[in-house]
């Protein structure tokens, strides 16, 4: 029987990417993170991948919405079962965002940057985001899901009410992009980087080097009083180091905070 386009794509992923153990394509779903959470709780193996063409409840952090017209974007989630403590989970966001960066460079010849803690950007314009969600006991993670959304073949710049300037890969390269090649390349890069992590190679310095945030004046807003200062680096666990006017360096952990350049306002 003839295979659908999606089945062929997924089989290529299973063949070419050692990390991917099971792959499922859903034409439309609520949120790939939500689907994978249910599978993770039921014991799905590390390397399970969910890919969709449309989300009816795509999410960012703090239940913010992730917007993507049908078939315009890469929308997928991958399951990790790493030997890590809960407070180390951010390393998975680091390695996946670096994997996206590798793949965009390798397949499109384009250098994208990152914005602390979970954005893919190009000169301050957001083109993708990662949503890492975990389940853990006191000792270690039971699972971590990294959901990735990337604007590929659409122009998001006219969407009202977004928190920062936005763009897409097709806007940047000036041509439509084959999403399946990019997806395969991202998963291959993530697979390589995850193997490296397992041998003890922590990607914090490389991630810091890719962050457009470093050197910028920032305001960190969260549950506590806002901190204003200069982003001077990241700690090995991914915490942002912000030096205030008094010279004191604050550690800001990824979580319920937003970082914006000083002098601008979040929508």
**What are the residues facing 34 on neighbouring strands?**
none
156 lies in the binding site for ligand BT5 (CB under 6 A): yes
Taking the complex as a whole, the smallest distance from the CB of residue 72 to ligand BT5 amounts, in Å, to 9
Contact (CB, 8 A) for 204 and 187:
no
C-alpha distances (whole Å) from 74 to each of 80, 101, 180 are 19, 14, 9
Is there binding between residue 149 and ligand BT5 (CB under 6 A)? yes
Site size with ligand BT5, rule: CB under 6 A: 30
Site string (158-177) toward ligand BT5, x via CB under 6 A: ----xx--x-----------
Of 60 and 233, nearer to ligand BT5 (C-beta) is: 60
Q: How far is the CB of 55 from ligand BT5 (least distance, A)?
A: 6
Considering the rule CB under 6 A, would residue 238 count as an interface residue with ligand BT5? no
Residue among 9, 77, 153, 170 that touches ligand BT5 (CB under 6 A): 77
Q: Does 99 bind ligand BT5 (CB under 6 A)?
A: no
Smallest separation (angstroms) from ligand BT5 to the CB of 2? 29
Judged by CB under 6 A, which stretch of 96-104, 155-163, 204-212, 223-231 contacts ligand BT5?
155-163
| 131 lies in the binding site for ligand BT5 (CB under 6 A) | yes
Nearer to ligand BT5, 156 or 229 (CB): 156
Alpha-carbon gap, residue 165 to 148, rounded angstroms: 19
Q: What count of other Cβ atoms lies within 10 Å of the Cβ of residue 58?
A: 24
Q: How far apart are CA 193 and CA 18, in angstroms?
A: 12
CA distance 136 to 21: 22
Contact between 184 and ligand BT5 per CB under 6 A: no
Q: First vs last Cα of the chain: how many Å apart?
A: 51
Nearer to ligand BT5, 56 or 246 (CB): 56
Closest CA relative to residue 258, chosen from 223, 232, 230: 223
Whether 149 contacts 66, CB under 8 Å: yes
Q: Please report how close the Cβ of residue 140 comes to ligand BT5 at its closest, in angstroms.
A: 24
Question: Contacting ligand BT5 (CB under 6 A), which of 90, 101, 126, 179?
Answer: 126
Q: Dig out the tokens for 252 from the structure.
A: 């800001």
- H helix or E strand, kind and range, residue 110: none
Considering only residues 33 to 72 of the shown chain, the ones binding ligand BT5 according to CB under 6 A are 33, 55, 58-62, 64-68
Residue 265 DSSP class = -
Nearest CB to ligand BT5, comparing residues 91 and 131: 131
Cα dihedral: 155, 217, 87, 120 (round 10): 20
Cα–Cα distance for residue pair 125/138, rounded to 1 Å = 38
Residues in the chain: 267
93 binds ligand BT5 (CB under 6 A): no
The answer to whether residues 97 and 130 touch, using CB atoms and an 8 Å cutoff, is yes
Task: List the interface residues with ligand BT5, window 192-231 (CB under 6 A).
Answer: none
Residues that bind ligand BT5 (CB under 6 A): 31-33, 55, 58-62, 64-68, 75, 77, 118-119, 126, 129-131, 147-149, 151, 156, 162-163, 166
């Amino acid at each position: 029987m003839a295979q659908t386009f999606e089945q062929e794509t997924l089989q290529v992923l299973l063949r070419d990417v050692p990390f991917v153990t099971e792959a499922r394509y859903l034409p439309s779903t609520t949120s790939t993170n939500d689907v994978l959470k249910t599978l993770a709780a039921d014991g799905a193996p590390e390397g399970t991948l969910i890919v969709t063409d449309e989300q009816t409840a795509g999410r960012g952090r703090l239940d913010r919405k992730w917007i993507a017209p049908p078939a315009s974007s890469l929308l997928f989630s991958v399951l990790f079962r790493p030997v890590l403590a809960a407070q180390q989970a951010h390393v998975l966001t680091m390695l996946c965002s670096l994997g996206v960066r590798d793949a965009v460079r390798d397949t499109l010849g384009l250098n994208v940057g990152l914005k602390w803690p979970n954005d893919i950007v190009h000169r301050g314009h957001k083109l993708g985001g990662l949503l890492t969600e975990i389940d853990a006991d006191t000792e270690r993670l039971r699972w971590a899901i990294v959901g990735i959304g990337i604007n590929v073949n659409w122009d998001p710049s006219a969407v009202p009410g977004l928190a920062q300037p936005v763009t897409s890969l097709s806007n940047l390269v000036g041509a439509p992009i084959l999403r399946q090649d990019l997806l395969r390349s991202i998963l291959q890069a993530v697979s390589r980087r995850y193997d490296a992590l397992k041998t003890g190679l922590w990607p914090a310095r490389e991630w810091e080097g890719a962050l457009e945030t470093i050197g910028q004046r920032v305001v960190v807003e969260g549950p506590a009083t806002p901190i204003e200062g200069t982003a001077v680096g990241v700690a090995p666990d991914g915490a942002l180091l912000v030096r205030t006017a008094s010279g004191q360096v604050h550690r800001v952990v990824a979580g319920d905070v937003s970082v914006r350049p000083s002098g601008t306002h979040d929508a």
